[in-house]
Amino acid sequence: MIVLDLLLMLVIAYLTGFLYYGLYRNITARFQKRLGPPIWQSFYDSIKFFSKDESTSHGWMFYLGPIIMMSGAIMTLFFIPFFSSGESFVGLSEYGNLFLVLYLLVLGPLGNALGVGAAGNPFGVMGVTRGLSRLLALELPFYIALVAIMSLSASADIVTIANEQTTMNAFAYPLLFIAALFSFIGMMGQSPFDVVGAPVEVYSGPASEFSGKFLALLMSQGAIFTFAKLVLMVHIFLGGADGFVELLVKTFILFLFVIAFGSIYGRFKTPQSIDFLLKVPTAIAVVGLILATWS
């Protein structure tokens, strides 16, 4: 039973993730007055890549990187329940809590960083370095917001936090939500905090040396991971969801906001993004925390 549950969660996250990614490519294309690729193009690409061999091998640690990243993404997905009712599609969430999920969120990227390092491609490590430096700034406002929410709901359990909300946390504590959104945009790899992959123009980023089925693995984990992160945000700030329709609507609205933000703004350099995140969103989060918990 639990195995079937987990398998279904995985399939749903995989398909929805690629659907969203296809929509993302289309929507950004419209922003740039292009037509964009067919919606399922990235999905077909990933399936095709799975049947291809990689071009060069750099030893076993090189291969383990993407595999750990995929495992990290699946773990994250399994420890976040889909619905706030806590009955079906709960995964393994009863064995974990929000603190565990926060750590699982970085487990995959760190594992992949090992593979990137083993490949020895300096452009890959450049991406990792930028990613880690940016990560620390990214997490601070997010942590402050989450700590405040956990304290207010008196629980670190995701289902409890989702059910505690009579008005959605996003509207009850708007400052916390805004601060967390800044971090969330960065976590989703969107402008202005997308210097890690630096898509399109620079040949760098953690995926540099990977090809063939390992590139496919990285793409697939990206899809699963995106969906897991969206579900987490919906549970914490948007009151959770009781059915698939509600879940899809809420995650899609959040996703649309994030990519719209990403299409409009330019990219920060690494030090600029750290400086910005440690000042503006952090200040907003601290004010939000004080206002929310002052009693």
Partner 1 sequence: MDLSIFGLTDIVVSLKATSLANFFSVLIAFSTFVLLFLVKNFKLAKGFYLFFTLLVGSLFLIVYAADYLLFFIAWEVMSISTYFLLSLSLSKEVLHKYIIFAMASALSIFVAILILYSSMHSFLYIDAQKSFAALGDLEAIVFVVLMLFGIFVKLGVIGFHYWLVDAYEESLNIFTPYLSAVLSKMGVYALIILVTQVVSLSYTLAIIGVITSIIATFKAIQEDSIKRLLAYSSIAQIGYIVTVLGLTDGMSGALYHSLVHTAVKLLLFINIAGIIYVTNRSKFSELGGLVYKMPQSFVLLLIGIITLAGMPPLGGFASKFLIYTSLLDAKYLLILSAVMFSSASAFVYIYKLIYGIYLGHPTNKRLERVSEVPWSFLVPQYILAFVLIILGTYPALVIPEFNLILIELGFKTQDFSSYSTLMSNFGSYNGLVVISAFGIIFILVLLFMLRTHSKVREAKNRFDLAYCAEEPNEATHLHYGFSMGKELQRVGILNLIYKNSVKPFYDFLAKQTLNFAEIFRKIYTGKLTTNFNVAVIFAIVLLLWSIR
Comparing CA positions, the residue from 131, 81, 76 lying closest to residue 100 is 76
For 223, the token pair is 């899809």
Q: Does 98 engage in binding with partner 1 (CB under 8 A)?
A: yes
Least gap, CB of 259 to partner 1 (angstroms): 25
Least gap, CB of 266 to partner 1 (angstroms): 19
Q: Does 294 engage in binding with partner 1 (CB under 8 A)?
A: no
Q: Does 122 engage in binding with partner 1 (CB under 8 A)?
A: yes
- Residue position matching structure tokens 């659907």: 19
For partner 1, the binding residues in 58-77 under the rule CB under 8 A are 58-59, 61, 63, 67-68, 70-71, 74-75
**94 vs 242 by CB, closer to partner 1:** 94
The only residue of 11, 34, 99, 257 in contact with partner 1, by rule CB under 8 A: 99
For partner 1, the binding residues in 145-204 under the rule CB under 8 A are 147-148, 150-151, 154-157, 160, 203
| DSSP assignments along 199-231, one per residue | TTT-S-STTTT--HHHHHHHHHHHHHHHHHHHH
Q: Helix 98-119 crosses helix 60-78 at what angle (to 10 degrees)?
A: 160
**64 vs 248 by CB, closer to partner 1:** 64
Alpha carbon distance 183, 160 (integer Å): 23
In this structure, are residues 182 and 287 in contact, taking their beta carbons and an 8 Å threshold? no
Residue 137: partners with Cβ closer than 8 Å, 6 or more residues away: 273, 274, 275, 277, 278
For partner 1, the binding residues in 27-56 under the rule CB under 8 A are 51, 53-56
For partner 1, the binding residues in 200-259 under the rule CB under 8 A are 203, 208-209, 211, 213-214, 217
**149 vs 259 by CB, closer to partner 1:** 149
| DSSP assignments along 135-193, one per residue | HHHHHHHHHHHHHHHHHHHT---HHHHHHH-SS-HHHHSHHHHHHHHHHHHHHTT-TTS
Least gap, CB of 73 to partner 1 (angstroms): 10
For partner 1, the binding residues in 102-121 under the rule CB under 8 A are 102-104, 106-107, 110, 113-114, 117-121
Alpha carbon distance 120, 125 (integer Å): 8
Least gap, CB of 217 to partner 1 (angstroms): 7
